[in-house]
Amino acid sequence: MTITKKKVVISVSLILSILVIAVIVIAVLIHMGFGKPPSNREQTDVSISTDTIVDRIISELGYSGISRVSSDNIAKYYDIDKKLISEATVYISDSADSCFEVSCFKLNDEADYSKVEYKIKNHINSQSANLQRLNPKESKMLEDTKIEYCSPYVLVVVSDNNGSAINSFRNLITGKVSS
């Protein structure tokens, strides 16, 4: 076999090996549910409004110094297509140098979770760039943003006690807390 033929055989073998590895990786990602919303393990009460969810979290955790974003401004704040969500409630800090936020969105269709999550992450990233210069502590809190999904609700929490807010959210929509 000539050197040229050996190079061709090696090149083809390498390309085939790469293709086989790529197919295996894609199969594993599909099997793991890549691109699908996180699965719900518990039944949720879909009759609860996003207002009730956010108001309960704010009340239980004693948040203060925050204001509700008007329904007309939510689309500007998050740039989420109104066709994707049936309800939205957003509360943010009254202070310009604070990134505190509790928001809840109710999806029209579970299949749209990845689109809504993408818009949320874009919003958080844009805020992070601005806040890093102003207030490093708040910037760290923004990096620890929690996005919790429990069909059909998506909760966004930027606070110093995200875990408590997530627990309150899950308990409320799964009926573990009386209304």
Q: Mean pLDDT, 10 residues at a time, over the chain (179 residues)? A: 79 80 67 52 77 93 91 87 93 86 94 94 82 70 89 92 91 72
pLDDT at 143: 83
pLDDT at 95: 85
Cβ neighbourhood burial of 74 (10 Å; 0-12, 13-18, 19+): buried
pLDDT at 130: 67
Q: Which amino acid, one-letter code, is at 79?
A: D
Separation between Cα atoms, residue 54 and residue 124, nearest integer Å: 18
Cβ neighbourhood burial of 155 (10 Å; 0-12, 13-18, 19+): buried
pLDDT at 101: 92
pLDDT at 179: 41
The ranges assigned to domains in the chain are: 1-34, 50-173
